[in-house]
Chain A
Amino acid sequence: MFGSADIGYAGSARLRPIELAPWVVAACVYFFTPNYLPLGAYIVIVILFALSLDLILGYGGIVTLGHAAYFGFGAYAAGVFAIRVTGDPLLGLAVAAVSAGLLGLATGAVILRTHGLALLMLTLAINSIVFEVANKWTDVTGGADGLHSVPIQPILGMFRFDMFGRTAFLYCLIVLAAGWWLVRTIVHSPFGVALAGTRENDVRMHAIGAPVYRRRLYAYTISATLAGIAGGLLTQTTQFVGLSVLGFERSGELLVMLVLGGVCRIYGAFVGPVVFIAAQDYLAKQSPEYWTMGIGILLIFIVMFARGGLLGLLDRLRGTK
């Protein structure tokens, strides 16, 4: 399920040509299917969100069902900041990042003292608490109505968000590229190997003198920050933020998407959301009532026959594993 040969002390962090594939696909979407740009921007956002989860789940072995807490917190932070202070997108994104990061640090400091099922339950609890706060604190969050018409200024005062979603798509893509570079750098670093060590065996990590708790907390905070940035992007590109950004379904779906694509491989976070959202789109058209069953069957198939997700399956078909 885990592990790719290129990370670690004998690995190579050099960029392989295949790693450029997502960006080539994105360029094709931009130039050849302009009608899909709004959906494309949404997918790019979800990819960034899934990538943030891969860092802690795939590499850190921290299983969470509450990651939407940070995504939603970032989304609301960006929305409230834009309405009350300024609609500058980069400042707004920074606010989303810092708020979600701080929430990640504070909550992580508590929940990472636990393991396994207790940890899983606490992530659920935190998701629910943040949801209820957003639901009840209507003066700030708009409650069940959410925040509408969130203002957004041109990026750097130059690039206006157009009605075709071109700017939004490229903006999200550039932010994703930065997030991807960050996660990729981290997982190849000594810190990344040590993080994998805590996933593999935290008893041994203690026995070799590693500050296990601190390492996990750093990773969790970085992950929450990235999730918050993804949430901020959603607010900015849709100019709306509602309670669905904090929904438990969002946390659950995220996990499904990542497992579908393949955990602990960075690019599973790219493949999963694309396949999931495309399947959702297609199945919902075929059967508006029962489309979730299709997703369920797909997931069962993956878990039973393709451990390591779609990318794991691909690896095995190519005979590399």
Chain B
Amino acid sequence: MSAILETRALCKSFGALTVADNIGFRLEAGARHALIGPNGAGKTTFINMLTGRLAPTSGQVVLGGEDITRLAQSARVKRGLGRTFQINTLFRSLSVLDNVALGIAERRGVAGRMWRPASGYRAVRDEAMAFLESLGIAADADARVLDLPYGKQRLVEIAIALGLKPRVLLLDEPAAGVPKVESELILEVLGRLPADIAILIIEHDMELVFRFAKRITVLVQGQVLVEGTPDEIGADRRVHEVYLGEGHAHA
């Protein structure tokens, strides 16, 4: 199969500290792939290099066959690379609808228009409403984000990224900080995401990872330890040792 997103020998160091060490990673088209690893394994650094928030020290990031290593964030987004954030990164005092509409307007190339009211751009608004409906938060369209409960804010986080119609969607701990009841809701939403979007999820909630992902990559100290199906990862002794429960490692 062809990889939609690929990294080749990706390295990042901050002085003497190496946080990404020769990472070779492939995300297949339409994948449901999870990236796991203990705290400080370099997961967020890896995501930031994919999206362009951080420049790698060496190596390449390739999206759909094109080397995007040197491209700015906005150029990567235009090529179909969307992301969500581990910590809510929203337009807090704007309405839920506007949060999603902003990204849609950027994608449609109308976000810089000055002479007509935004409310006149019906297509943008209707599309934003459609995304809110698909995530079950259409009733909150007019509410300001800061007035929403945390779980719903996590859904807005996903809705904004979906509005960009990405080919690749990076989900950085979508259920972080969400109570158990609501994380079930988020899992359900993730399950309904369009099949043609390749999804890479970073998550600490192992139950969510094993239910959602078809493939799992384990990152330890900036290196890929192992990659495989959930069954293979669940059975891998090294993974148990470093990650899944150090207590059972020598049992």
Contact = CB atoms under 8 A, between A and B. Distances in A.
Contact of A11 (B91, B107, B114, B117): B117
A1 B53 CA distance: 30
A191 B114 contact: yes
A188 B119 contact: yes
B92 A189 contact: no
Interface string B102-130: 11011100111111111111001100100
A93 B111 CA distance: 31
Interface stretch (B8-16, B93-101, B176-184): B93-101
A18 to B, nearest CB: 18
A196 to B, nearest CB: 6
A319 to B, nearest CB: 17
Contact of A9 (B107, B124, B144): B124
A201 B156 CA distance: 14
B94 A197 contact: yes
Nearest to A185: B115
Interface stretch (A26-34, A136-144, A207-215, A227-235): A207-215
B111 A190 contact: yes
A210 B74 contact: yes
A201 B119 contact: no
B94 A11 contact: no
Interface string A197-239: 1001101111111110001001000000000000000000000
B141 interface: yes
Interface in B41-78: 51, 53, 73-78
Contacts of A208: 77, 102-103, 106, 160, 163-164
A191 B118 CA distance: 8
Contact of B160 (A10, A204, A206, A215): A204
Given A13-B119, A190-B121, A185 B92 contact: no
Interface string A271-296: 00000000000000000000000000
Contact of B89 (A12, A192, A201): A201
A193 B90 contact: no
Given A209-B77, A209-B164, A9 B98 contact: yes
B154 interface: no
A22 to B, nearest CB: 20
B91 A189 contact: no
Contact of A211 (B74, B82, B142): B74
B214 to A, nearest CB: 26
A23 interface: no
A199 to B, nearest CB: 9
B88 to A, nearest CB: 9
B83 interface: yes
A7 B118 contact: yes
Nearest to B84: A207
Contacts of A193: 94, 98, 101-102, 105, 111, 118
A45 interface: no
A115 to B, nearest CB: 15
Nearest to A3: B93
B114 A9 contact: no
Contacts of B117: 11-13, 185, 188-189
Contacts of A201: 89-92
Contacts of A256: none
Interface string A142-183: 000000000000000000000000000000000000000000
Nearest to A204: B89
Given A11-B117, A191-B112, A197 B89 contact: no
Nearest to A186: B114
A191 B111 contact: yes
B74 A8 contact: no
Given A13-B117, A207-B51, A207-B89, A8 B94 contact: yes
B85 to A, nearest CB: 8
A188 B114 CA distance: 8
A11 B144 CA distance: 13
A73 B11 CA distance: 50
A206 B74 contact: yes
A305 interface: no
A4 to B, nearest CB: 11
A191 B74 contact: no
A209 B98 contact: no
Nearest to A196: B94
A301 interface: no
Nearest to B52: A206
Given A190-B121, A200-B91, A208-B106, A8 B97 contact: yes
A186 B114 CA distance: 5
Interface string B159-175: 01001100000000000
Interface of B: 51, 53, 73-78, 82-83, 85, 89-95, 97-98, 101-103, 105-107, 110-121, 124-125, 128, 141-142, 144, 160, 163-164
18 contacts: A3-B94, A3-B144, A8-B101, A8-B119, A9-B121, A10-B125, A13-B119, A190-B114, A190-B124, A192-B114, A197-B102, A200-B91, A201-B91, A207-B51, A207-B82, A208-B163, A210-B74, A211-B112
